[in-house]
Amino acid sequence: MLKTRIIPTLLWKQFGLVKGVGFDSWRRVGPVLPAIKVYNQREVDELILVDITAYIDESDPDYESIDDFGRDCFIPLTFGGGIRQIEQVQTLLRAGVDKVSLNTSLYDKPDLVTQIANRHGSQCVVASLDVRSEGAGWKCFSRAGTFATGKDVVTWAKELEDKGTGEILLTSIERDGTFQGYDLKLVEAVASAVSIPVIASGGAGNYQHMVEVVRDAGASAVAAASIFHFTELTPAGAKQALADAGIPVRKAYRPE
């Protein structure tokens, strides 16, 4: 059995990190680099850094800042935001990024997934699916949750797997920042439809929520932001709770 990963999510807006509820990211939580340095010392398996405004002006990623982040990040780093071309991916990888997360470009340029997978391997491509419930199912949204694509999340996840996606970052917009727990039915529906890892995101409020989404819904990893920013709960505590529930976790990487 693959070991479950604990992955903090950092939302980058202009000059710092932000967080809110339901993708309304208004609350500042500090600069990026100190957060990365803190997580280097904590028992996390990966970091996800997303520029949540990059889609607005369609500018290139801030490679200079990302290179600075990469130099000080000693754990695998996934970056998302404004990625539209294969050349951008190559530059990001040279800057120290390990994986790229695609959201808006999944819908605007779906062949980009295959291009990245063919050149750098499927493990390099993370499909970030932001969804809202609709009727008995869920629909995907792009542009930081502001644009309805009309795509059913289960069908789209399977298509993206066929295109070469290595894993799926699955976020419930409605649960985001609420501390009410992951949408277990959503995660189970997608995880049971694909064979690639599904990272559950949106709603973690305690360690039990993480246990449930892995044990009961089939998530391969848990992503969280508010629980680590605004509570006393820690990645190490999350790993211990998962281990206590019989869920295999990775040992911490500790830089020398």
Residues 146, 151, 155, CA angle at the centre, nearest 5°? 140
Residues 185, 207, 157, CA angle at the centre, nearest 5°? 35
Q: What is the mean pLDDT of the chain?
A: 92
Q: What is the rounded average pLDDT of the residues 223-231?
A: 90
β-bridge pairing 99-102 and 77-80: parallel
Closest alpha carbon to 65 in 101, 116, 14, 126: 14
Q: What is the rounded average pLDDT of the residues 102-109?
A: 95
Q: What is the pLDDT of residue 19?
A: 75
pTM score, two decimals? 0.93
Greater model confidence, 224 or 30: 224
The predicted-structure confidence for 199-222, as pLDDT tens digits, reads as follows 999 999 999 999 999 999 999 999
Q: What is the pLDDT of residue 256?
A: 43
Indicate whether 255 pLDDT > 80: no
The predicted-structure confidence for 123-157, as pLDDT tens digits, reads as follows 999 999 999 999 999 999 999 888 999 999 999 99
Q: What SS3 class is residue 152?
A: strand
The predicted-structure confidence for 46-56, as pLDDT tens digits, reads as follows 999 999 888 77
Q: What is the pLDDT of residue 253?
A: 44
Split at pLDDT 50, 70, 90, the class of 1 is low
**In a domain? residue 101:** yes
Q: What is the pLDDT of residue 187?
A: 98
**In a domain? residue 114:** yes
Q: What is the rounded average pLDDT of the residues 177-194?
A: 97
**In a domain? residue 250:** no
How many folded domains does the chain comprise?
A: 1
Q: What is the pLDDT of residue 229?
A: 84
Indicate whether 26 pLDDT > 70: no
**In a domain? residue 203:** yes
Expressed as residue numbers, the domain containing 53 is 5-244
Distance CA 63, CA 24 (A): 26
**CATH number (domain holding residue 162):** 3.20.20.70
Residue 148: count of CB within 10 angstroms of its CB: 13
The amino acid occupying position 94 is R
Q: What is the rounded average pLDDT of the residues 88-98?
A: 96
**In a domain? residue 253:** no
